[in-house]
Structure 1
């Protein structure tokens, strides 16, 4: 299903880009007074899209058209932001050794790594997100460290224990990871 959505998304992006490129080129050609067809609605650098006599002052269509275009622009911006977002991996392909393979839910592997990372000394909370492809996932780990935690020791244990166990249990040759560490904010205590 993800592959179909990705293909549809790419086709729609390509078509939208082609339409916008053609329209932009036609407007540029008309604005520079280059050869445009006789049916083209405006020509020359001084031409406007709709003259005042064609726009009705009390007409309800113009506010509706402007509102519709504003909604269209907002939808395009939301869609653009959704494209920039890293998508979560829904499943991981596990090598079972028999040539068949199995599929493991991405959330399950994320939960296992989170649980094991939270047992590490000095880790208050862990969040894991898998991205990439089914056969080559990558982990994005966010750790909230307690004040006494050593960041270098925590990273070493994270790589060797939590991520190492996930890599071997899923039969992955490598599991690249990016870790973000934050310190736990501790309220100052009053000493009497």
Structure 2
């Protein structure tokens, strides 16, 4: 959860910086300060449509130095690869693909994580008061961790439902997978039904 929060804060900051830069370029390139009759601070980077980001002097300042082009290209490559890694990290889902269980013969067996998730979903939806369910197994240091999302019927009692799921559904999953414990997080959502006219 902390990693998700940090990612969202960083994405928001990067978005704000890019938005501010885009607004600065837009105001200068469209000459809005003259059309709409307002003044810009003296430190504003773009004050007119003919302004450039780098002056002629700035662009040619280090051209004769041997280190300039390798450092410039390497820096841009590092920034690009870092942003690409960050983007791929956002799209990557951390799900447990396989569980190693004790089969009793000393070798063990592999159980697909998706199979355990499907069983959790099926048993949760069969439970009284649950209209739909979703489940995901994620890896943790101490072992697998289950995340459940449950759509509750209007008559469901959340406290009794969570206690029953822990005593039955999660207990069955622990027993069938040969796990000592299976910590879980359940998110409960109320199912909204559309009103229907009765004649």
Normalised-by-shorter TM-score class: 0.5 to 0.7
User: Are 2:97 and 1:90 aligned?
Assistant: yes
Q: Identify the residue that residue 109 of structure 2 maps to in structure 1.
A: 102
1:53 and 1:132 map into 2 onto residues whose CA distance is 52
User: What runs of 5+ residues in structure 2 fail to find an aligned partner?
Assistant: 1-54, 64-72
Query: The residue matched to 1:127 in structure 2 has which SS?
Result: strand
Deviation, 1:52, is 3.5
User: Are 2:79 and 1:79 aligned?
Assistant: no
Aligned residues: 131
Query: The residue matched to 1:175 in structure 2 has which SS?
Result: coil
CA change 1:134–1:101 in 2 (3 A) is farther
Deviations 1:4-51 (A, max 9, x none): xxxxxxxxxxxxxxxxxxxxxxxxxxxxxxxxxxxxxxxxxxxx9x83
Query: The residue matched to 2:172 in structure 1 has which SS?
Result: helix
CA change 1:55–1:153 in 2 (3 A) is same
Q: Identify the residue that residue 153 of structure 1 maps to in structure 2.
A: 160
Deviation, 1:148, is 1.0
Deviation, 1:161, is 1.4
CA change 1:51–1:135 in 2 (3 A) is closer
Q: Identify the residue that residue 170 of structure 1 maps to in structure 2.
A: 177
1:178 and 1:107 map into 2 onto residues whose CA distance is 17
Deviation, 1:54, is 5.5
Deviation, 1:74, is 4.6
2:177 and 2:59 map into 1 onto residues whose CA distance is 68
CA change 1:175–1:110 in 2 (3 A) is same
Deviation, 1:96, is 2.0
Query: The residue matched to 2:121 in structure 1 has which SS?
Result: helix
Query: The residue matched to 1:116 in structure 2 has which SS?
Result: helix
User: What runs of 5+ residues in structure 1 fail to find an aligned partner?
Assistant: 1-47, 57-64
Q: Identify the residue that residue 139 of structure 2 maps to in structure 1.
A: 132
How large is the RMSD of aligned CA atoms in angstroms?
3.0
Q: Is contact 1:130-1:140 (8 Å) kept? A: yes
